Amino acid sequence: MSIFKINKSLIDPFLVLSCIIPFALYMATLAPSVTFFDSGEFLTATASMGSAHSPGYPLFLMYAKPFTWIPLGNIAFRINVATAASSSIACLVVYVLVTYLLKIEVLLDNERFNRFAVKAAGLAAAVSFSVTPRLWLQSNHDKPYPLLAFISAIIFYLLLKWREHYLEGSERPSYVYVCTFLAGLSMAIHQIIVLLLPAWFLMIMLTDRRLIKRVKELILATAFALLGFSVHLYLPLRAISNPLLNWGDSKTVDQFLWHFLRRGYPSEPHSRDAALLWAQLKAFNVSREFTWLGVVLALIGLVYLWKKNRALFVGYLAAVFTFLLVIAGYFNTLLDLIFLTEEFFTPLYLLTAVLIGLGLFSLLGYAVRNARLPERVGAAVYGLCAVMFFSLPTALCAVNYYENDQHDNYIAFDYATNSLRSLPQNAIMFTWGDSGAFPLWYLQGVERMREDLDLPHTPHLVFDWYLDSMPRLFKDSNLRKFDVASSGPEVALRIAVTENLGVRPVYIDFSTRYSVEFKDYLPSQKGIVYRVRRMNDPVGLPDISIWDNYNSRGIYEKISFLDLDTGKAIMIYSNSYIESGEFLFGISRFEEGMLMLQRAERISPEMKVAADQIRMRFGLAR
């Protein structure tokens, strides 16, 4: 039985803590269900083993799928756990990188203290990274970027190991082959990984320039990269099975390229002034993530790298330059969409956390040299070192905890269920905007709510693959007879409404109501959705009882997490109450109308001006 005993000396408690501490934090603040933005879509694609929006994210979906088998919570919660786990192992690699880079450092003739200093610096760096607002934001619900950061960090580690062996006179090209395989593989998480290629190339060239002349090794490295990239075969193979969410329908080469190359996201060129450029550059914001103290520590870490490992020094700076050149320079993102690019910098923040660990160790070395400590170090010194190392992560955790605590964030779930409750049997509701549509996809497709409904997403009506995914609604639709791709989604919506009105109840969501001009039809409010009717159809009395059937968790009281789309959902509730109150005043149901206005003000105090204007118009000013 002794062969099964674990050698406790081989267990590094600091290594374990570098993963356990972040995971515990993420689980304490994890979203309990679907959230806004891409959440509902990723959840649906993962549960059905389908395809998410371009470029598909096949590796992330395959990674998250086994978590759906955990017998705990709903499917959304389980997939959220998958992201918490990927973020935690990314933090673990921060620890590994820091301790690897510091492994030869000696502060005192005291091996125990030296080990403690190195491992404490690694743990402090890992925990600091875990509680940055950007990573924490991604770790509480389904996101692919922490997994991408983990793999990119592994590649940096392997290149450092390869460099170490080379400098010792032992060539190990197998390390490079594994790196190229992982780089090709990580393309199936997000294509932003290509921006790290110049950094990795420079690290290789600064170590062994002759490698580029070895044809055999170049061929093998390319072959391994293609082998990793071959995971994209998942997209056409799964498309053949027609999964629940089959974005792009990559059955053919043309459709695969359309999907992989993001051809469904055309963008119009626009001018850029200095203010926009500065806003784009600020998307990479080390001071926001780590505070200005973290910036100083990262700079000290860069100085350390310049002295000890110039290949990684050049690699880090090259990565920062390439990311900014492409993301800020080439993408030229619009001001209101810059927040979409902020997550792309997650791998750079991981490397910055490594620099912070090196900076902390360098500061300790300076202090030790000037303090002239005795060979025998007492507990007080260990305590002071711990305070020095963990002050930054503790402060970051305290500052960022409240805004990243999503454990009671049911706003997206309730918004979607409230929308479904508003609809009669066998209705159709057209949506506009990802945040309004994706939670509905999850609830209907994964949680099996209201499968009698059809919930087409208006911007997608211009794509044949999307029409194919809803045969009950669009098998013989006139949308297939017109060039709706050129005409645009508004024309497609009018065609779809016209051919279904009178056949089935037709509804639209709030975003569609205020995104499209309805010339031939009139929307009639029912809670947060609208019934579409012809001009000559009777309006009917409003059904205000629907509001009493709504769940309103996080609407009347501020929850900690309010991203752009969550805030938009809250404003939809508030505006809907205002609109309902105004209509009730117009038909002389003043008491009920007053209640609607009061609810709007309670949700959004800034709505008081609009509510007072309505009261004044009807002579009911307070």
Residue in the structure block whose two tokens are 């900076």 = 359
The secondary element (H helix, E strand) that includes residue 533 is: strand 529-534
Query: Do the strands 506-509 and 529-534 form a parallel or antiparallel pair, or are they unpaired?
Result: antiparallel
Say whether pLDDT at 86 is over 60: yes
Annotate 194-246 with DSSP letters as a single string.
Answer: GGGHHHHHHHHHHH-GGGGG-HHHHHHHHHHHHHHHGGGGHHHHHHHT--S-B
pLDDT band of 183, cuts 50, 70, 90: very high
pLDDT at residue 231, as a whole number: 96
Q: What is the pTM of this model?
A: 0.92
Q: What is the rounded distance in angstroms from the CA atom of residue 518 to the CA atom of residue 180?
A: 53
Q: Which of 9-18, 178-187, 585-594 has the highest mean pLDDT?
A: 178-187
Q: Which residues pair with 51 in a beta bridge?
A: 246
Q: Alpha-carbon torsion 198, 204, 210, 213, what sign?
A: negative
Provide mean pLDDT across the span 482-494: 86
Mean pLDDT is lowest, of 57-61, 215-219, 392-396, 535-539, for 535-539
Residue 559 pLDDT class (50, 70, 90 cuts): low
Q: What single letter denotes the amino acid at residue 323?
A: F
Better-scored residue on pLDDT, 107 or 365: 365
Q: Is the pLDDT of residue 413 over 70?
A: yes
Neighbouring CB atoms inside 10 A of 329's CB total 14
pLDDT value at position 275? 87
Spatial contact of 59 and 185, defined as CB atoms under 8 Å apart = yes
Q: With 60 as the cut, is the pLDDT of residue 417 above it?
A: yes
Mean pLDDT, rounded, for 397-408:
92
Average pLDDT, the chain: 90
Confidence at residue 232, expressed as pLDDT on a 0 to 100 scale: 95
Q: What gap in Å lies between CA 505 and CA 532, rounded to an integer?
A: 8
What tokens does 228 get? 């990793």
Best mean pLDDT range from 358-367, 534-543, 550-559: 358-367
- Can you list the alpha helix ranges (DSSP code H) found in 30-74? 39-48, 58-64
Most confident of 335-344, 551-560, 588-597: 588-597
pLDDT in the model for residue 3: 46
CA-wise closest residue to 554 among 50, 124, 31: 31
Task: Please tell me the predicted confidence (pLDDT) of residue 135.
Answer: 95
- Strand partners for 525: 530
Neighbours of 394 (CB within 10 A): 15
| Cα Rg, the chain, nearest whole Å | 28
DSSP codes of every residue in 374-435: -SS--HHHHHHHHHHHHHHHHHHHHHHTGGG--TT--HHHHHHHHHHHTSPTT-EEEB-SHH
- Count of Cβ atoms closer than 10 Å to residue 209 Cβ: 9
pLDDT exceeds cutoff 60 at 7: no
- pLDDT for 9 equals 53
Q: When comparing pLDDT for 370 and 462, which is higher?
A: 462
Lookup: tokens for 87: 């973020």
Higher pLDDT, 6 or 143: 143
CA distance 227 to 214: 20
- Say which range, 106-120, 125-139, 238-252, has the weakest mean pLDDT: 106-120
Report the alpha-carbon distance of residue 619 to residue 137 in Å, rounded.
Answer: 47
Which token pair is 300? 């000290």
Residue 67, pLDDT score: 96
Q: Can you tell me the distance from the alpha carbon of 129 to that of 122, in angstroms, rounded to the nearest whole number?
A: 11
Confidence check: pLDDT of 293 > 60:
yes
Listed in sequence order, the residues at least 6 apart from 123 whose beta carbon sits closer than 8 Å to its beta carbon are: 14, 17, 18, 95, 389
Q: pLDDT digits over 213-229, tens only? A: 888 999 999 999 999 99
CA atoms of 304 and 359, how far apart (whole Å):
7
Task: Say if residue 470's pLDDT is above 70.
Answer: yes
Domain locations in the chain? 22-404, 411-617
Residue 548 confidence (pLDDT): 87
Determine the 3-state secondary structure of 365 from DSSP: helix
Q: Quick one: how far is CA 523 from the chain centroid?
A: 34
Return d(Cα 552, Cα 359) in angstroms, integer.
47
State the number of CA atoms in the 13 A half-sphere of 208 facing the CB.
21
**Token couple for 35:** 């959230």
Alpha helix positions (H), 241-345: 253-260, 274-281, 286-308, 310-323, 338-342
Could you give the percent of the chain with pLDDT greater than 70?
A: 95
More confident residue, 101 or 337: 101
User: Sorting pLDDT into bands at 50, 70 and 90, what band is 1?
Assistant: very low
Residue 480, pLDDT > 90, answer no
Residue 174 has pLDDT above 60, yes or no: yes
82: phi then psi, degrees, rounded to nearest 5: -60, -40
> pLDDT grade, residue 5 (50/70/90)?
low
Residue 546: band (very low, low, confident or very high) from pLDDT cuts 50, 70, 90 = confident
- Mean pLDDT for 197-218 is 91
Can you tell me the mean pLDDT for 488-494?
A: 89
Distance CA(469)–CA(245), nearest Å, equals 8
The predicted model gives 435-444 an average pLDDT of: 92
pLDDT of residue 336: 78
Task: Name the token pair of 205.
Answer: 């060239």
Task: Tell me the per-residue pLDDT of 318-328, one tens digit each, with 9 for 90 and over.
Answer: 999 999 999 88
Q: What would the mean pLDDT of 48-69 be, rounded to a whole number?
A: 94
* SS3 state at 340: helix
User: How far from chain centre, in Å, is Cα 8?
Assistant: 38
**Per-residue pLDDT tens digits for 102-112:** 988 777 667 88
